[in-house]
Amino acid sequence: MIDRNYNQETENNSEREYFYGFDVDVMHPFIFETFMPHFRNGNILEIGSFEGDFTTHLLKRFESVDCIEASSKATTILENKHGKAVNIFAGTVEELKLEKRYDNIILAHVLEHVDDQVHVLAKIKNEWLAHKGRLFVVVPNANAPSRQIAVRMRLVSHNSAVTHGEEKHGHRITYSFDTLFRDVTASGLIPILSDGIFFKALANFQWDRLLKTDIVSPEYLRGCYELGKVYPDLCSSIFVLCEHQCEPN
């Protein structure tokens, strides 16, 4: 296994923040709204919980959340933020052994960080996902207009490039729908639904500046979310819902 410093990867670098205000204040609520109709009753595992910001939304639907987090710094913050409402497994998907299966597993903005995406998806399916359990996979979109504009500005070499700033944060791949479906199906998971989340023509740092003004209203943000359902390939993030349809051994 490649030796990685997950504390360092989650720190802001000179080229890119790890989490922007846009991620937490805009994307997290819309991702949760996208997930809500598809949750199964039962338990839930969130992989890559970081400091527990998205976990806050999951706790609106579930009494407790099991969390996996590789960064020891983030784990401390996560535990302080949510206390006994979370059960934390410190480590990576690759190294952890869990004693139970889950009806819902969240893999939001994590798959692009792992070294072997198909292996991780297959392990989740074969070891942790219950029969008829659902895996919620969300990744940044290579074809978001903001990224395509950056390509034409000569800031990024091509849509699916991993930039230097992203690489410092541990990114290994930049997905589009075709490559995401490729890896999901290669793992043996069954995709049952796909969607785009939030039509996005501005970069995250531009959104952060804009959100500090009164130029953008909640109604405008809602409009971007609804337009994303019309043009999923032009969204900030893309979503595939997978199901484990075979009885586990």
CB of 81 closer than 8 Å to CB of 74: no
Closest CA to 183 of 235, 115, 231: 115
The values of phi and psi at residue 46, to 5°, are: -105, 120
Closest CA to 34 of 244, 240, 242, 243: 240
Q: How far apart are CA 39 and CA 60, in angstroms?
A: 12
Q: In degrees, to the nearest 5, what angle opens at C-alpha 38 toward C-alphas 43 and 19?
A: 80
Element containing residue 55 per DSSP (H, E)? helix 53-58
For residues 92, 93, 98 and 103, what is the CA-based torsion angle, rounded to 10 degrees?
A: 130
Q: How far apart are CA 71 and CA 55, in angstroms?
A: 16
How does pLDDT run along the chain (249 residues), one tens digit per residue? 457 777 665 676 655 665 689 999 999 999 999 999 999 999 999 999 999 999 999 999 999 999 999 999 999 999 999 999 999 999 999 999 999 999 999 999 999 999 999 999 999 999 999 999 999 999 999 999 999 999 999 999 999 999 988 888 888 999 999 999 999 999 999 999 999 999 999 999 999 999 999 999 999 999 999 999 999 999 999 999 999 876 555
Q: How many other β-carbons are positioned within 10 Å of the β-carbon of residue 128?
A: 23
